[in-house]
């Protein structure tokens, strides 16, 4: 699969710009992958800082990947991830979810298969907060989140689950399924029942893995290696660390 250039226009001001800097310096706003589809004038709105256009059709794989590309939230190259691993793919859902209308639409699409089957949405902070809340809004249920403290995932803030509640887990991107599994364990310990996992993007090499059935709007093939095994490093390339840019705009 090839990905068209789809970087943001550069008209955004503020810290997000540092993370979406296009090393090729392209002016790809005119080449975005998916046309606005009959809504003339939408592209100029994006150029003015309103964010990527929502596609007119369903939020299927192609539409979601176009949104991510347009927001600079999906890039190909050589990246040092915050986990310490190196990858040929960088995904940063916050660059899509910073636009509430996009978050709302993605949440609605993810909620649809679970309508009437969920009593509460549970997610791990920080990645699952925005999309989990939007899914819960659409389902008309509450949303609780777990936080990692001292290496242990916990429900804090007096959040409580009741025995028998049906809990939908939510994540922005499923990388290994590990965080969702930890939240599922918390849910189970509380006596509630995990009923599934909803994610915008599934980047696991084997999506079928894991104890929970997962619904994802898009799947992305992404390689990841321990730095010592990274073929891109071995080829002499230096990785970018897009997730660790300092917010004051100065390089670390």
- Residue 244's CB is within 10 A of a number of other CB atoms, namely 11
Closer to Zn ion by CB, 226 or 248: give it.
226
Q: Residue 103, Cβ neighbours under 10 Å: how many?
A: 22
Residues 240, 78: contact at Cβ < 8 Å? yes
Closer to Zn ion at the Cβ: 223 or 233?
Answer: 233
CB–CB of 196/223 below 8 Å? Answer: no
Question: Which of 10, 233, 240, 243: binder of Zn ion (CB under 5 A)?
Answer: 233
Taking each continuous run of H as one helix and of E as one strand, the counts in the chain are: 8, 9
Instruction: CB nearer to Zn ion: give 175 or 179.
Output: 175
Beta strands in the chain (DSSP E): 74-80, 86-91, 120-124, 142-149, 152-155, 166-174, 193-202, 214-219, 224-225
Among 106, 121, 232, 245, binds Zn ion (CB under 5 A): 232
Nearer to Zn ion, 43 or 224 (CB): 224
Provide, rounded to whole angstroms, the least separation between the CB of residue 221 and Zn ion.
17
Distances (CA, A) of 98 to 35, 45, 141, 166, 175: 21, 16, 22, 29, 20
**Does residue 118 interact with Zn ion by CB under 5 A?**
no
Task: For the CB of residue 224, give the shortest distance to Zn ion in the complex, in Å.
Answer: 10
Q: Judged by CB under 5 A, does residue 63 bind Zn ion? A: no
Q: CB 236 → Zn ion: shortest distance, Å?
A: 10
Stretch of 34-42, 91-99, 117-125, 228-236 contacting Zn ion, by CB under 5 A: 228-236
Does 224 sit near Zn ion (CB under 5 A)?
A: no
Selected binder of Zn ion within 107, 127, 239, 242 (CB under 5 A): 239
| Residue 113 in tokens | 């298969």
The count of chain residues that interact with Zn ion, using the rule CB under 5 A, is: 5
CA 131 to chain centre: 8
Alpha-carbon Rg of the chain, whole angstroms? 19
Among 86, 133, 204, 245, binds Zn ion (CB under 5 A): 86
The one among 230, 235, 244, 252 contacting Zn ion by CB under 5 A: 230
**Stretch of residues binding Zn ion (CB under 5 A), selected from 80-88, 117-125, 143-151, 202-210:** 80-88
Structure tokens at 219: 């799947």
Task: Please report, as ranges, the residues that interact with Zn ion according to CB under 5 A.
Answer: 86, 230, 232-233, 239
């Amino acid at each position: 699969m090839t990905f068209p250039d789809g970087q943001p226009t550069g008209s955004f001001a503020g810290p997000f710009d540092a993370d979406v800097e296009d090393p090729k310096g392209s002016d790809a706003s005119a080449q975005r992958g998916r046309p606005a589809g009959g809504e003339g004038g939408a592209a100029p709105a994006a150029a003015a800082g309103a964010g990527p256009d929502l596609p007119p059709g369903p939020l299927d794989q192609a539409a979601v990947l176009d949104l991510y590309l347009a927001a600079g939230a999906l890039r190909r190259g050589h990246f040092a991830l915050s986990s310490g691993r190196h990858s040929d793919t960088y995904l940063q859902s916050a660059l899509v979810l910073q636009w509430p209308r996009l978050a709302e639409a993605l949440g609605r699409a993810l909620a649809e298969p679970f309508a009437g089957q969920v009593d509460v949405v549970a997610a791990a902070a920080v990645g699952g907060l925005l999309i989990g809340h939007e899914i819960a809004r659409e389902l008309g249920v509450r949303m609780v989140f777990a936080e990692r403290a001292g290496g242990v995932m916990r429900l804090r803030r007096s959040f409580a689950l009741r025995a028998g509640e049906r809990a939908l887990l939510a994540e922005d991107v499923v990388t290994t399924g590990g965080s969702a599994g930890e939240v599922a364990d918390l849910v189970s310990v509380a006596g509630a029942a995990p009923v599934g996992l909803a994610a915008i993007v599934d980047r696991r090499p084997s999506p079928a893995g894991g104890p929970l059935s997962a619904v994802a709007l898009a799947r992305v093939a992404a390689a990841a290696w321990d730095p010592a095994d990274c073929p891109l490093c071995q080829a002499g390339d230096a990785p970018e660390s897009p997730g660790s840019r300092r917010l004051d705009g100065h390089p670390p």
